[in-house]
Amino acid sequence: MAETSQDEEGGGKKKSALIPTIAVVLVLTLIAGGGGWMMGGILAPQTVVPEDTAAAPAAAGHAAAEPAKGAHGEEEAGRPNVIQLEPITTNLSYPSENWIRIEVALLFRDSPDEAIADKIHQDILSYLRTVSLQQIEGPRGFQYLRDDLRERVVLRSEGRVTDLLFRTFVIE
Protein backbone atom coordinates (compact mmCIF):
# COMPACT_ATOMS: atom_id res chain seq x y z
CA MET A 1 0.00 0.00 0.00
CA ALA A 2 2.83 2.35 0.73
CA GLU A 3 4.29 1.68 -2.70
CA THR A 4 1.08 2.66 -4.53
CA SER A 5 0.77 5.93 -2.65
CA GLN A 6 4.36 6.82 -3.56
CA ASP A 7 3.72 5.99 -7.28
CA GLU A 8 0.63 8.19 -7.31
CA GLU A 9 2.54 11.10 -5.77
CA GLY A 10 5.40 10.66 -8.31
CA GLY A 11 2.91 10.55 -11.19
CA GLY A 12 1.23 13.67 -9.92
CA LYS A 13 4.54 15.56 -9.86
CA LYS A 14 5.29 14.54 -13.46
CA LYS A 15 1.87 15.76 -14.64
CA SER A 16 2.14 19.02 -12.77
CA ALA A 17 5.60 19.76 -14.27
CA LEU A 18 4.43 18.93 -17.83
CA ILE A 19 1.55 21.41 -17.93
CA PRO A 20 3.63 24.54 -17.06
CA THR A 21 6.33 23.46 -19.55
CA ILE A 22 3.76 23.19 -22.34
CA ALA A 23 2.27 26.55 -21.37
CA VAL A 24 5.71 28.25 -21.38
CA VAL A 25 6.59 26.75 -24.78
CA LEU A 26 3.21 27.85 -26.19
CA VAL A 27 3.61 31.42 -24.90
CA LEU A 28 7.19 31.67 -26.23
CA THR A 29 6.05 30.34 -29.62
CA LEU A 30 3.31 32.97 -29.82
CA ILE A 31 5.76 35.74 -28.83
CA ALA A 32 8.32 34.57 -31.43
CA GLY A 33 5.65 34.33 -34.15
CA GLY A 34 4.29 37.79 -33.34
CA GLY A 35 7.80 39.26 -33.30
CA GLY A 36 8.63 37.66 -36.64
CA TRP A 37 5.41 38.94 -38.16
CA MET A 38 6.11 42.45 -36.86
CA MET A 39 9.72 42.44 -38.14
CA GLY A 40 8.53 41.15 -41.50
CA GLY A 41 6.12 44.07 -41.73
CA ILE A 42 8.90 46.52 -40.88
CA LEU A 43 11.52 45.07 -43.25
CA ALA A 44 9.26 44.23 -46.19
CA PRO A 45 6.04 46.23 -46.02
CA GLN A 46 3.15 44.91 -48.04
CA THR A 47 2.65 47.64 -50.62
CA VAL A 48 1.33 45.58 -53.50
CA VAL A 49 0.20 47.65 -56.46
CA PRO A 50 -2.07 45.91 -58.95
CA GLU A 51 -0.43 45.48 -62.36
CA ASP A 52 -3.17 47.41 -64.13
CA THR A 53 -2.67 50.57 -62.09
CA ALA A 54 1.15 50.33 -62.16
CA ALA A 55 1.32 49.81 -65.93
CA ALA A 56 -1.13 52.58 -66.84
CA PRO A 57 1.04 55.63 -65.90
CA ALA A 58 4.16 54.04 -67.37
CA ALA A 59 2.38 53.23 -70.62
CA ALA A 60 0.93 56.73 -70.85
CA GLY A 61 4.36 58.31 -70.38
CA HIS A 62 5.99 56.16 -73.04
CA ALA A 63 3.12 56.14 -75.53
CA ALA A 64 4.37 59.27 -77.27
CA ALA A 65 7.99 58.10 -77.32
CA GLU A 66 9.03 56.04 -80.30
CA PRO A 67 10.84 52.79 -79.48
CA ALA A 68 14.58 52.97 -80.07
CA LYS A 69 16.34 50.64 -82.42
CA GLY A 70 18.93 48.49 -80.72
CA ALA A 71 22.08 47.11 -82.27
CA HIS A 72 21.27 45.66 -85.69
CA GLY A 73 17.65 46.81 -85.69
CA GLU A 74 16.39 45.22 -82.47
CA GLU A 75 13.65 47.29 -80.84
CA GLU A 76 13.65 48.15 -77.18
CA ALA A 77 9.97 48.88 -76.58
CA GLY A 78 9.34 51.61 -74.03
CA ARG A 79 13.02 52.32 -73.39
CA PRO A 80 14.29 54.77 -75.99
CA ASN A 81 17.72 55.19 -74.39
CA VAL A 82 18.64 51.48 -74.17
CA ILE A 83 20.64 49.58 -76.78
CA GLN A 84 20.83 45.80 -76.60
CA LEU A 85 24.27 44.62 -77.75
CA GLU A 86 24.69 41.44 -79.73
CA PRO A 87 25.69 38.40 -77.64
CA ILE A 88 29.41 38.20 -76.90
CA THR A 89 30.89 34.70 -77.00
CA THR A 90 34.58 34.08 -76.42
CA ASN A 91 36.92 31.73 -74.63
CA LEU A 92 38.49 32.64 -71.31
CA SER A 93 42.22 33.17 -70.93
CA TYR A 94 42.57 30.27 -68.48
CA PRO A 95 41.45 27.52 -68.87
CA SER A 96 41.19 28.23 -72.57
CA GLU A 97 38.69 25.41 -73.17
CA ASN A 98 36.04 27.29 -71.12
CA TRP A 99 33.76 29.67 -72.99
CA ILE A 100 31.75 32.64 -71.78
CA ARG A 101 28.59 34.03 -73.37
CA ILE A 102 27.25 37.33 -72.19
CA GLU A 103 24.36 39.51 -73.35
CA VAL A 104 24.29 43.10 -72.14
CA ALA A 105 22.38 46.28 -72.80
CA LEU A 106 23.65 49.83 -72.51
CA LEU A 107 21.64 52.55 -70.78
CA PHE A 108 22.49 55.90 -72.36
CA ARG A 109 22.07 59.24 -70.62
CA ASP A 110 20.53 60.87 -73.71
CA SER A 111 20.01 59.45 -77.19
CA PRO A 112 21.81 56.19 -77.98
CA ASP A 113 24.84 56.20 -80.25
CA GLU A 114 25.51 53.14 -82.42
CA ALA A 115 29.21 53.99 -82.91
CA ILE A 116 29.83 54.10 -79.15
CA ALA A 117 27.83 50.88 -78.71
CA ASP A 118 29.99 49.08 -81.28
CA LYS A 119 33.17 50.40 -79.66
CA ILE A 120 31.95 49.21 -76.23
CA HIS A 121 31.02 45.81 -77.68
CA GLN A 122 34.58 45.33 -78.94
CA ASP A 123 36.05 46.56 -75.65
CA ILE A 124 33.97 44.09 -73.62
CA LEU A 125 35.00 41.28 -75.98
CA SER A 126 38.70 42.08 -75.64
CA TYR A 127 38.41 42.39 -71.85
CA LEU A 128 36.62 39.04 -71.48
CA ARG A 129 39.46 37.33 -73.36
CA THR A 130 41.85 38.36 -70.57
CA VAL A 131 39.70 37.04 -67.70
CA SER A 132 40.39 33.67 -66.10
CA LEU A 133 37.75 31.37 -64.66
CA GLN A 134 39.17 31.77 -61.14
CA GLN A 135 38.62 35.55 -61.30
CA ILE A 136 34.89 35.26 -61.95
CA GLU A 137 34.04 32.25 -59.79
CA GLY A 138 31.30 32.72 -57.24
CA PRO A 139 29.10 35.72 -56.48
CA ARG A 140 31.99 37.95 -55.45
CA GLY A 141 33.86 37.23 -58.69
CA PHE A 142 30.74 38.00 -60.72
CA GLN A 143 30.29 41.26 -58.82
CA TYR A 144 33.90 42.24 -59.55
CA LEU A 145 33.37 41.46 -63.24
CA ARG A 146 30.20 43.58 -63.33
CA ASP A 147 31.96 46.47 -61.62
CA ASP A 148 34.95 46.24 -63.96
CA LEU A 149 32.75 46.16 -67.06
CA ARG A 150 30.63 49.08 -65.86
CA GLU A 151 33.73 51.14 -65.16
CA ARG A 152 35.16 50.34 -68.61
CA VAL A 153 31.86 51.21 -70.30
CA VAL A 154 31.56 54.56 -68.56
CA LEU A 155 35.18 55.42 -69.37
CA ARG A 156 34.91 54.28 -73.00
CA SER A 157 31.72 56.27 -73.57
CA GLU A 158 33.06 59.32 -71.72
CA GLY A 159 30.03 59.33 -69.41
CA ARG A 160 27.34 59.01 -72.08
CA VAL A 161 26.46 55.49 -70.90
CA THR A 162 25.15 55.48 -67.35
CA ASP A 163 24.70 51.75 -66.74
CA LEU A 164 25.43 48.30 -68.11
CA LEU A 165 22.49 45.90 -67.83
CA PHE A 166 23.21 42.16 -67.84
CA ARG A 167 20.70 40.06 -69.77
CA THR A 168 22.44 36.67 -69.67
CA PHE A 169 25.72 35.31 -68.35
CA VAL A 170 26.77 31.75 -69.15
CA ILE A 171 30.08 29.96 -68.66
CA GLU A 172 30.58 26.63 -70.37
Domain 67-171 = CATH 3.30.479: yes
Q: What is the pTM of this model?
A: 0.55
Burial of residue 115 (CB within 10 Å: 0-12, 13-18, 19+) is: exposed
Q: How confident is the model at residue 116 (pLDDT cuts 50, 70, 90)?
A: very high
Dihedrals phi, psi of 104, to nearest 5 degrees: -130, 160
Is the separation of the CB atoms in 171 and 100 below 8 Å?
A: yes
pLDDT tens-digit map of 12-38: 566 688 999 999 999 999 999 999 888
Look at strands 68-69 and 75-76 and give their pairing: antiparallel
